Structure 1
Amino acid sequence: MPSTASSLRSWPTPGWRSVASRAPTIASTRSSDIWSGDRTGLAEAVRKIWVVTGLTLRYLLGTRRIIAMALLSAVPLILAVGLAAARVASFDVLQLFQAVMVPLFLQVVLIFVTLVNATSLIREEIDDNTLPFLLTRPISKPAIATYKYLGYLAAVLILLVPPLVVAYGVTEAYGGFSFATDLDVLGGFLLVTILGSAGYGGLFLFISVLVRKPLAVGLLIGFVWESIVGSIPGDVPKLSV
């Protein structure tokens, strides 16, 4: 006959576990809850970014002024096509591209397009009294400004990058070269366009929060200050965007 101790050891005990066997289960449950919470928080953050950025992008590209902005962005392209069609022999390919893009595209078109779009991000919502709607959402004010800035950056790059790339292609075709011949030049212009859009956008967005007429102040900074600051001796040119 088996002993009592051996009988107790062999007795099935469903629903009972030792402390050692329960500990891993509790730990794994907690880690699973934490991981699930992290995924939920990440999904919610992505959703907020998508909503605010998407609304900003549709707002900037959905108004009638987008037509004027698109035409202005296309002016260097139209000029490059005109010079190529006229077969201006005094320019080589790179001279033609740089002669059109540096003074006109980078110093005029880029500044004006970024100014108009960046100053409208916050100031127009303040004037139209639509900003409180966003502020009632569970999104912090810095997050709203950041997400709207991302929408602005996407909008201006949609306006500025295609004409730049097409103008480069036109000038390369005019010279009888392939598109890949001077990609380093195109890459440099694209980098300057992205950095200029980001820098001017941040500056003009900040101005639009501070003053009621940001467009006038932005015009003074973008076209007056930026044009004369380079000729001032000393460290003053460092204040240029």
Structure 2
Amino acid sequence: MYNRTVARLTYRGLLGRRRAFILFALPALLLVISVVIRVLTGADDDTAANVLGGFALATMVPLIGVVAGTGAIGPEIDDGSVVYLLSKPVKRPTIIFTKLVVAVGVTAAFSAVPTLIAGFILNGNSQQIAVAYAVAAAVASVAYSAIFLLLGTVTRHAVVAGLVYALVWETLFGSLISGARTLSVQQWSLALAQKIGAEGAITSDVGLPLALVLLIGVTTLATWYAGQKLRTLTLAGEE
């Protein structure tokens, strides 16, 4: 199910100059903010939770997911080079699965790791806040990568659609409107963070069992449907 050649080409495309700048800029900003806050206010659990929840998990992780998820396949479809990939003796599910693995790896590396470091800077992992949010970021990376990879296969405006989803639904509605939180990847991952962190340190509007079902369901469905769209694209190209 995993093809090294496809993975190598995908990594090369994702870590190109333009995308690499965005991938490095957001984690760097998080770390700078964390250092400044720690110097000015000292270690504080509430502040750490606000920074990691409000910026890292609610904003940085979905934006990096947009870059990695849509960038894993969208540009190849836009410039037509995907036809050469599809002409190789590689199964379509293998292509999608490989690109998903790459997108998840990139998203997690540029979001979960900086989140963990930022948490230690902010409060030294008091109440397990740093570890909890890092795990939440890693779990959210899987769902976001699948969602944005799917967008890359269904629309040529995947980046725009992804940004609207990330900034409007996840960051704005998912944080402020209670009814929308149940359908937010952010809240699903927070349910896991709540389980890891000390009691009362982190809260989620979604229970852990439901959150796990939704995370697994959305990731599986998005990956499957992306494979179906890629198969349709192949048929169109052959015609």
Q: Same fold, TM exceeding 0.5?
A: yes
- TM-superposed CA distance for 1:108, in Å, is 0.9
Out of 83, 104, 109, the residue aligned to residue 132 of structure 1 is 83
Does the CA-based 8 Å contact 1:57-1:154 persist in structure 2?
A: no
Which one of 162, 166, 171 corresponds to residue 117 of structure 2?
Answer: 166
- Answering whether residue 51 of structure 2 is matched by residue 100 of structure 1, we say yes
Given candidates 103, 108, 111, the residue that maps to 1:157 is: 108
Q: By how many angstroms is 1:232 displaced?
A: 5.4
Residue 136 of structure 2 corresponds to 192
Superposed CA RMSD: 2.2
Distance in 2 of aligned mates of 1:166 and 1:193: 12
Q: Distance between the aligned counterparts of 1:49 and 1:215, measured in 2?
A: 25
Residues 201-239 of structure 1 deviation map (CA, whole Å, 9 limit, x = unaligned): 111111221112112212222222233256254xx6433
Aligned-partner Cα distance in 2 for 1:232–1:184: 26
Alpha-carbon separation, structure 2, partners of 1:62 and 1:212: 20
Aligned to 2:177: 231
Amino acid at match of 2:99: K
Deviations 1:25-82 (A, max 9, x none): xxxxxxxxxxxxxxxxxxxx6xx52222232123212333212321112212101101
Determine which of 14, 24, 30 is the counterpart of 1:60.
14
Cα offset for 1:190? 1.8
Residue of structure 2 in register with 1:37 after alignment: none
Q: Which residue matches 2:206?
A: none
Q: What is the CA distance between 1:121 and its match in structure 2? A: 1.7
Name the structure 2 match of 1:220: 164
Mapped partners of 1:57, 1:85: distance in 2: 37
Query: Could you say if the C-alpha distance between residues 222 and 64 of structure 1 is closer, same or farther in structure 2, counting changes exceeding 3 Å?
Result: closer
| One-letter amino acid of the counterpart of residue 24, structure 2 | A
Which amino acid is 1:66 matched to?
A: A
With 209-218 and 154-163 compared, the bigger mean Cα shift is at 154-163
Q: Report the CA distance shift for 1:237/1:158 in structure 2 as closer, same or farther (over 3 A).
A: closer
The answer (yes or no) to whether the contact 2:117–2:130 under 8 Å persists in 1 is no
Q: Matched residues in 2 for 1:153 and 1:68: separation? A: 16
Deviates more, 1:52-61 or 1:204-213: 52-61
CA distance in 1, matches of 2:46, 2:73: 40
The equivalent residue for 2:150 is: 206
| Aligned twin of 1:29 | none
Looking at structure 1, the residues matched to 173 and 47 of structure 2 have their Cα atoms a distance apart, in angstroms, of 25
Aligned residues: 183
Deviations 1:60-114 (A, max 9, x none): 123332123211122121011011222x15xx43223212111111111111111
**Matching of residue 182 in structure 1 with residue 101 in structure 2:** no
Whether the 8 Å CA contact 1:80–1:96 is kept in 2: the answer is no
| Secondary structure in 2 matching 1:239 | coil
Q: Is the counterpart of residue 84 in structure 1 residue 84 in structure 2?
A: no
Between structures 1 and 2, the one with greater helix share: 2
C-alpha separation in 1, matches of 2:115 and 2:173: 26
Q: Which amino acid in the other structure matches residue 60 of structure 2?
A: V
2:181 and 2:31 map into 1 onto residues whose CA distance is 30
Change (3 A) 1:171 1:238: closer
Q: Partner residue of 2:190?
A: none
